[in-house]
Amino acid sequence: MRPTFHPRLVNGPFGDPVVLVRLLGHGRNLFLDLGDLHGLPARPVLKATHAFVTHAHMDHFCGLDTVIRYSLGRERVFRVVGPPGIAERVEGKLRGYTWNLVHTYDQAFRLEVLEWENGRGRLWTFPCREGFPRQDQGAVDLAEVEPGLRVVHAETAFRVVAAELDHQVPCLAFRMEEPVHVNVARDALDRLGLEPGPWLRPVKRAVQAGSGPDHEVRLPGGRTVPVGELLEHGVIRLTRGQRLAYVADCLWAEPGLSRAVALARDAHLLYCEAAFLEEDARRARERYHLTAAQAGELARRAGVGELRIFHFSPKYRGREPELLAEAAEAFGGPVGLGP
């Protein structure tokens, strides 16, 4: 299976938290958190359409300035999804700069913010050519998939689910998931004399949207066939949709713990903060962070396939093997530091 989500921890386990997720076959990227982005070239930043921000501590949020800087004078929309108060904080960033010339730009950049508030959403827009005023677009219903977990972004190919955790301030955790993963079998295409190409994209979208076997799709050359025929010939093969979970900065306590476990349930891959070793568990609790052992235990309870830990305290430089070992012992499965 060629995964749809290709994540990369941009700044390593000690740097600012930010995961760049490349969406295979979609030609674009997403961000999980927005830490320092100076290590990235402009291209992957400009290909990003959304950022899912856990909270507005500087190390998780300072990268928004880079996104805005690269976007000025371009025709694009970038959406930030974040916790209560995120729109006010975005507005504060924007007010720190002077925008007297943006009305002259030929291309219109627009920043959008979807703010989570008690399980509901509110959408705000900040149009560049007007000097980024905050404009209220109204409430947004966030569908609840199970108690405490709500959909904050949805499209045909995948959706993003969020849960609110406790970092002494509300802190969101996120899960990206496909309804089903659509694989294309090259050998079956060869048997039918078909070449892979862009014509397969609407086929995949139709299957992911739940279209029935009678749904007609167009082949190269203009002929149409029902999706069911491609399934019968093995051109399209369906497997369980990919799940990628991201948990950063939270207290090991209820109700957040149960929400984090539910969010990460059956994820193929979980990125989880592990700021401290268990020897410093008291300090971790005082700072509303997890230990490596707690990250491993969370992954074990959630039944994830692979765990990657990050967001280490600088005091552990050179002790990375200890953090990995502690998480692995609690998890009982593969643990990595990245990418």
- Alpha carbon distances (Å) from 255 to 69, 124, 138, 261: 38, 29, 29, 10
Question: Quick one: tokens of 35?
Answer: 């830490």
Both tokens of 49, joined, read 């359409």
Burial of 205 (0-12, 13-18, 19+ CB in 10 A): middle
- d(Cα 182, Cα 295) in Å, to the nearest integer? 31
pLDDT at residue number 228: 84
Tens digits of residue pLDDT in 1-31: 678 999 999 999 999 999 999 999 899 999 9
Q: Which domains does the chain have, with CATH numbers?
A: 5-179+241-336 (3.60.15.10), 181-239 (no CATH)
Bridge partners of residue 20, in order along the sequence: 8, 31
Comparing 334 with 234, the larger pLDDT belongs to 334
pLDDT band for position 189 (50/70/90)?
confident
Measure the CA–CA gap between 187 and 194, rounded to whole angstroms.
Answer: 10
Give tens-digit pLDDT for 226-283.
888 888 888 888 888 999 999 999 999 999 999 999 999 999 999 999 999 999 999 9
Each residue's pLDDT tens digit, 57-78: 999 999 999 999 999 999 999 9
Question: Cβ distance 33 to 51 under 8 Å?
Answer: yes
More confident residue, 186 or 174: 174
The Cα 132–Cα 29 span in angstroms is 24
pLDDT of residue 1: 62
Mean pLDDT throughout 198-206? 82
- In this prediction, residue 226 carries a pLDDT of 87
3-state secondary structure of 321: helix
Q: Are 165 and 260 in contact (CB under 8 A)?
A: yes
Contacts of 289 (CB under 8 A, 6+ apart): 249, 250, 251, 273, 275, 276, 311
What is the DSSP track for 127-173? EGGGT---EEEEEE---EEETTEEEEEE-SS-EEEEEEEESSSEEEE
Q: What is the pLDDT of residue 45?
A: 98
Taking residues 138-156, report their average pLDDT.
96
Answer yes or no: is pLDDT of 165 > 90: yes
Residue with the bigger pLDDT between 338 and 87: it is: 87
**Average pLDDT, rounded, for the chain:** 94
Measured between alpha carbons, how far is 211 from 167 in angstroms, rounded to an integer? 42
How wide is the angle at C-alpha 166 spanned by C-alphas 54 and 309, nearest 5°? Answer: 60
Which secondary structure element, helix H or strand E, spans residue 252, and what is its range?
A: none
Cα separation, 9 vs 310, in Å, equals 8
Confidence at 203, pLDDT banded by 50, 70, 90: confident
- The pLDDT assigned to 214 comes to 85
pLDDT digits (tens, 9 = 90+) for 301-319: 999 999 999 999 999 999 9
- Which of 111-115, 119-123, 130-134, 205-209 comes out lowest in average pLDDT? 205-209
